Amino acid sequence: MFWKIIAIVALAWVALALIGALIKGLFPILVISAIAFGGYLLYKAVSGSKQHDLTRL
């Protein structure tokens, strides 16, 4: 029983380490894409476009 608990804790630790590394690596891409999308929406709002449907990017 003790070794099962140790194995579960070790697997959880490895999984959290992998998820943390993915989040750390992908976070800058997420920020850049959010800024670009916000800039696009701001441009469309300021330019006076009659088309406001977000599904037609």
pLDDT tens by residue, the chain, 57 residues: 899 999 999 999 999 999 999 999 999 999 999 999 999 989 888 887 566 666 655
What is the rounded distance in angstroms from the CA atom of residue 52 to the CA atom of residue 57?
Answer: 10
Give residue 34's pLDDT: 96
Global model pTM greater than 0.75: no
What is the rounded distance in angstroms from the CA atom of residue 21 to the CA atom of residue 6?
Answer: 23
Give residue 47's pLDDT: 82
Give residue 49's pLDDT: 58
Give residue 13's pLDDT: 96
DSSP 3-55: HHHHHHHHHHHHHHHHHHHHHHHHHHHHHHHHHHHHHHHHHHHHHT-S---TT
CA 3 to chain centre: 35
Give residue 17's pLDDT: 94
